[in-house]
């Protein structure tokens, strides 16, 4: 039974019992090879069918998620909750499923070669690891994930469609002594060269710095690698969700379309129709056709991300980003600039290039106050040249300040997905001025 059959079966069993039903089914076949100390740590494999339900009854709303193997068990489980659905008040978020429309097809997101490698990821892993070790790494760690999914959405209004896609997400950390470099790549298409490039690029960073430099906390010009840009923009884009704004989890609370939130040269787009990025989707979880849209255009807030319910609360229309109950971005694309990494380095009098980060946390979402910790290489730049490296500094600033401080972006962009960049992101290197960096000083 494929995803669409499951969706239809579940919908058929529920449509008479609820006023509105939206069913999403994700049928997944995936494998992930985890590598550490340059050898396989574990090969993990999954075959599962997840069923997600959005059920409305007398304007009450229930969201359900199942990994139980069969439609019959889903229907049995729904009976367990059926009696309490109407025992609460009407939901502000209740909305009829949208009138079904035929979404424009989206071809090219399925690559048979990915599926072929699912049962034997060894050659790809070997290529990536060899590439790193021959580029200067002493040891490597990372993952190679391959998967195919079929996604089906069916609604009580008559929408009934499915799509298939594949994905390759891989990242590798190259370590040598106290230095490390990290790179990542994500795509719907298998590209052996790109997988090897993850290895060689992660190790290549190790050659950029030879000696340790001094660090004093303060405001500096900072070059952010695509991994860092991806991580921080994952937060920014998630805070563009209408639900994040409603829940007070966004620095965009109180802002309107057209408000300046970034520097003029910065444009961030949600791109579900980019078929090479793994987050692609021709329609959203309510069956609404997706489209590429700027979240921030030329430095100004262009659009929040909405499903039918949040769009109604904001008196606008769905942006094709459902998500129940939380609208979400699919893929993120940053418009490239005209610079190169080397040109950015040459422009920095005193600053740092941060090649990777993790552990981004906020003191106050509404104010956008955050900090994040650099990991892997941080290059100290003095007088336009790399002087050496420092380790594990922290960016501690506000998202709006950071976005408004962007002065340059590279013309080359990179498709990154990894543990700290969950929403696939196409990002350039970014140069931002006067960003607050900290570190405990002994």
Partner 1 sequence: MIDEGLLVSAVELATSRGATYAEARYQEDVSDFVLMRNGRVLSLSTSVVRGVGIRVLVGGSLGFAATDRLDRESVNAAVEEAVSRARALAPLMKRPIEFDESRTGRASYEVVPKVSLEDLGVEERVGLGREAYKAVGGALREARLAVFVFGVRTHVQRKLIVSSDGAYVRSAVPRISVWANFVEHLPERGTIQRYADFGASGGAERLKEWRVVEELVQEAQSLERVLASGVEPPKEEVEVIVGSEIIGLVVHESAGHPMEADRILGREAAQAGESYVKPEMIGKFRVGNEYATVIEDPTIPGSSGFYLYDDEGVPARARYLYREGLLHEPLHNRHTAKLFGTLSNGAARAMDYSREPIPRMSNTYLKPGDMSFEELLEGVKLGVYMKSYMEWNIDDIRWNQRYVGLESYLIVDGEISRPVRNPVLELTTGDFYSKITGAGKQLRFYPGTCGKGEPSQGVPVWYGGPDVRLSKIRLGVAA
In the numeric block, which tokens belong to residue 66? 């199942």
Query: Judged by CB under 8 A, which of 2, 58, 119, 317 binds partner 1?
Result: 119
Please select the residue that binds partner 1; options are 58, 65, 101, 134, rule is CB under 8 A: 65
Considering only residues 322 to 381 of the shown chain, the ones binding partner 1 according to CB under 8 A are 325, 358-367, 369-373, 375
Closest approach of Cβ 394 to partner 1, in Å?
Answer: 6
Minimum distance from CB of 290 to partner 1 (Å)? 23
CB burial of residue 65 (10 Å; 0-12, 13-18, 19+): exposed
Candidate residues 12, 15, 91, 387; the one interacting with partner 1 per rule CB under 8 A: 91
Identified binder of partner 1 from the candidate list 4, 117, 173, 297, rule CB under 8 A: 173
Among 127, 249, 298, 386, binds partner 1 (CB under 8 A): 249
**H or E element at residue 72:** helix 71-85
Bridge partners of 165? 149
Q: Determine which residue in the list 8, 289, 397, 400 makes contact with partner 1, applying CB under 8 A.
A: 397
Instruction: Considering the complex, state which of residue 112 and residue 392 has its C-beta at the smaller distance from partner 1.
Output: 392
Cis peptide before 126 (omega within 30 of 0): no
- The candidate with the shortest Cα–Cα distance to 295, out of 276, 275, 279, 272, is 272
Q: Determine if 235 is a binding residue for partner 1 (CB under 8 A).
A: no
**13 to 52, contacts with partner 1 by CB under 8 A?**
31-49
- Please, what is the minimum distance in Å from the beta carbon of residue 163 to partner 1? 21
Q: Minimal distance in Å, beta carbon 150 to partner 1?
A: 15
* Contact between 442 and partner 1 per CB under 8 A: yes
Shortest reach from residue 307's CB to partner 1, in Å? 12
Q: Which is nearer to partner 1, 114 or 141 (CB)?
A: 141
Judged by CB under 8 A, does residue 403 bind partner 1? Answer: no
- Rounded CA-CA distance 3/7 in Å is 6
DSSP-assigned letter for residue 216: -
Question: Using the rule CB under 8 A, which residue among 84, 158, 212, 346 binds partner 1?
Answer: 84
Query: Nearer to partner 1 by C-beta: 81 or 104?
Result: 81
Question: How many other C-beta atoms can be found within 10 angstroms of the C-beta atom of residue 442?
Answer: 3
Window contacting partner 1 (CB under 8 A); options: 104-112, 169-177, 191-199, 225-233? 169-177
Region from 84-92, 272-280, 340-348, 405-413 binding partner 1, contact rule CB under 8 A: 84-92
By beta-carbon proximity to partner 1, the closer residue of 41 and 108 is 41
Name the segment binding partner 1 (CB under 8 A); options: 12-20, 75-83, 231-239, 328-336.
Answer: 75-83
Q: Which stretch binds partner 1 (CB under 8 A): 87-95, 149-157, 283-291, 329-337?
A: 87-95
Distance CA 245, CA 237 (A): 11
Tokens of 385: 């040249």
Q: What 3-state DSSP class applies to 318? A: coil
CB count within 10 Å of CB 115 equals 16
For partner 1, give the closer residue by CB, 138 or 191.
Answer: 138
Residues 267-306 that bind partner 1 (CB under 8 A): none
Longest dimension (CA), the chain: 71
* Angle, CA 222 vertex, CA 219 and CA 227 arms, to 5°: 135
Name the residue nearer to partner 1 (CB basis): 245 or 296. Answer: 245
Closest approach, Cβ 261 to partner 1, in A, equals 17
The single residue listed with the structure tokens 């002493």 is 138
Q: How many Å separate Cα 93 from the centre of its chain?
A: 25
CA neighbours closer than 13 Å in the CB half-sphere of residue 49:
20
CA angle 148, 152, 157 (to 5 degrees): 170
Tokens 């449509």 -> residue? 15
Number of residues that bind partner 1 (CB under 8 A): 90
Nearest distance from C-beta of residue 294 to partner 1, angstroms: 26
CB atoms within 10 A of CB 48: 12
Stretch that binds partner 1, among 171-179, 233-241, 257-265, 270-278 (CB under 8 A): 171-179
Contact 159, 86 (CB under 8 A): no
Bridge partners, residue 352, by sequence:
222, 380
157, 22 contact by CB (below 8 A)? no
Q: Measure the CA–CA gap between 142 and 38, rounded to whole angstroms.
A: 9
Residue 93 makes contact with partner 1 by CB under 8 A: yes
Contact 235, 399 (CB under 8 A): yes
Closer to partner 1 at the Cβ: 207 or 367? 367
**CA neighbours within 13 Å on the CB side: how many for 123?**
11
Per-position x/- string for 422-441, each x denoting binding to partner 1 as judged by CB under 8 A, each - no binding = --------------x-xxx-
Helix (H, G, I), strand (E, B) or coil at 259: coil
| Window 209-228: contact mask with partner 1 (x via CB under 8 A) | --------x-----------
């Amino acid at each position: 039974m494929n995803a669409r059959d499951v969706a239809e079966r579940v919908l058929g069993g529920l449509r008479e019992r609820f006023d509105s039903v939206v069913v999403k089914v994700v049928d997944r076949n995936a494998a992930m090879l985890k590598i550490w100390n340059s050898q396989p740590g574990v090969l993990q494999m999954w075959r599962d069918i997840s069923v997600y339900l959005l059920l409305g009854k007398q304007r009450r709303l229930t969201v359900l998620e199942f990994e139980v193997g069969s439609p019959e068990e889903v229907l049995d489980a729904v009976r367990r909750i059926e009696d309490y659905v109407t025992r609460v008040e009407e939901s502000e978020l209740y909305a009829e499923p949208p009138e079904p429309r035929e979404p424009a097809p989206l071809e090219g997101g399925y690559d048979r070669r990915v599926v072929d490698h699912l049962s034997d990821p060894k050659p790809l892993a070997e290529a990536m690891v060899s590439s790193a070790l021959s580029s200067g790494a002493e040891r490597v760690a990372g993952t190679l994930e391959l998967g195919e999914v079929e996604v089906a959405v069916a609604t009580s209004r008559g929408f009934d469609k499915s799509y298939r896609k594949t994905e390759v997400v891989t990242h590798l950390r190259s370590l040598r002594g106290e230095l490390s470099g990290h790179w990542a790549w994500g795509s719907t298409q298998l590209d052996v060269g790109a997988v090897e490039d993850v290895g060689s690029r992660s190790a290549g960073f190790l050659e950029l710095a030879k000696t340790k430099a001094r660090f004093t906390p303060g405001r500096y010009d900072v070059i952010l690698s695509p991994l860092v840009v991806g991580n921080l923009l994952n937060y920014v884009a998630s805070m563009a969700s209408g639900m994040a704004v409603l829940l007070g989890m966004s620095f965009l609370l109180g802002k309107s379309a057209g408000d300046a939130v970034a520097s003029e040269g910065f444009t961030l787009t949600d791109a579900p129709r980019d078929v090479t990025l793994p987050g692609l989707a021709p329609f959203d979880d309510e069956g609404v056709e997706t489209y590429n849209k700027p979240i921030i255009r030329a430095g100004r807030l262009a659009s929040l991300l909405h499903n039918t319910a949040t769009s109604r609360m904001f008196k606008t229309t769905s942006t094709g980003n459902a998500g129940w109950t939380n609208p979400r971005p699919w893929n993120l694309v940053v418009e490239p600039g005209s610079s190169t990494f080397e040109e950015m380095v040459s422009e920095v009098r005193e600053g740092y290039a941060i090649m990777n980060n993790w552990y981004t946390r906020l003191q106050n979402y509404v104010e956008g106050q955050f900090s994040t910790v650099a990991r892997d290489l941080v290059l100290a730049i003095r007088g336009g040249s790399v002087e050496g490296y420092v380790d594990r500094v922290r960016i501690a600033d506000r998202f709006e300040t950071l976005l408004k401080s962007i002065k340059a972006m590279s013309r080359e962009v990179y498709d990154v997905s990894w543990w700290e960049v969950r929403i696939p992101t196409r990002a350039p290197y970014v140069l931002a001025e006067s960003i607050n960096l900290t570190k405990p000083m002994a």
